[in-house]
Structure 1
C-alpha cells in the first residue's frame, strides 16, 4: 500500500454508489503503510520528518474518509431490509452490517408493537362501547316487549260484554263495584265476564255489529 493506491481507493469510494471491492487485507496493509511512515520519520532529519508527518496525517485522513463513506453505505443497506449481505464487504464490515440490521429490525418491531398495541386498545374500547350500546338496546327492547306483554295481558284480562238482564251490584276481581242493568255495555274483568256469560246474564260485545250504546267502565 502506498499513498497513490490509497488515494485511488478514496477516489473510487467517493464516486461509486455501491461498495467497491477491497483486498481482504486492506486494513492490515494500511496499518503497515502508516507504521512504515512512522519508522521513516524516526530515521529522517527534522525537515524530512515534517514532510513524513504530513504524509502520515494525510494517510489517516484518507483512511477515515474511506471508512466513513463505506460505513454510510453499509448502514443504508442494512436499514433497507435486504436479507442477504451485499458484495464488497470486508469481514469487519460484515459484522457491522449484521449488527446494524439486527438493531434496525428490533427498532422496527418495537415501534410496530407500539402502533399495534395502541390499535388493540382502540379496538377493545370500540368493542366495549359497541357491547354496551347493544346491551342498552337489548334492555330497551326487552323492556318494550315486557310492556307490550303486560298491556296484552291487561287487555286480555278485561272483556267488554253486554248485560242481558238486570242483576244486583257486585264486586269484580279487580276490587271495583259494578252497578249494571239490562242492555248496558261494560268492560269487566275476564273472570267476572265469563261467569256472567255462562249464567246467561251477559254476552261478549261485538263492536262491528253495534251502534251507539251506553258503555259503563
Structure 2
C-alpha cells in the first residue's frame, strides 16, 4: 500500500508540473495522506528499538517522502490558483472547467484572493477605500509622518494578529525537549523518538544543538 500511495502521489505531482493546469484530485486526498502518515508513525512507535532498527529507518524515509510529496502538491496547486485569480482580475480568459476542479477549501482561498486584490486596487489606484483596516489604518500611517501633519481623526484600529507562517521541516527528535512556542504560534512538547514537522527556523535551532535530526530526502 505504501508504494502504491507514494507512487500515486508522485505521478499526480508529475502530471501537474507538466500540464501547468489545475487538475482534478480526489476530495479525500489530503485526509487519506494524513491518515496514512499517522498510521506509519504508530507503526514506528510500536517498534522495539526504532532508532536502531532498519525497519525504523525505512518508516522514517516513507513518512518523509509522503509528507514532502503532499506538500509539493499543495504548493503547485496554490501557485496555479494564484495564476487563475490574476487572470480573472485582469479580465483575461478564465477556464471555468479549472475552477470546478478546486476543492472547497481552495475555492474559498481563491475568492479571498480575488477580494483582497480588488480591495487593494480600489484603495491604491482609485483611492476609494482603505483595505484591511478602514480609516483607522490610513490615519495611523498619516500620524507617523513629520511634525505639522494634521492629527488623525478617531482612534486607529488595532492590527489583526496574524500567525507567522514559515516553511516546515520534518525532523527526528533525538532527546526530550521542554515545551516551546513555535514560529507558527503552536506549542510543541517533544520527546525522544518523535517524528514531527516543525517550522524551519525552530527545526534549525534544534538541529544546531544536536537535539533533532532534519530528515532531508531527495525526490
TM-score (norm 2): 0.48
Q: Determine which structure has the larger helix proportion and give its number.
A: 1
Which structure is larger by alpha-carbon Rg, 1 or 2? 1
> Which of structures 1 and 2 has the larger relative contact order (alpha carbons within 8 angstroms, sep 6+)?
2
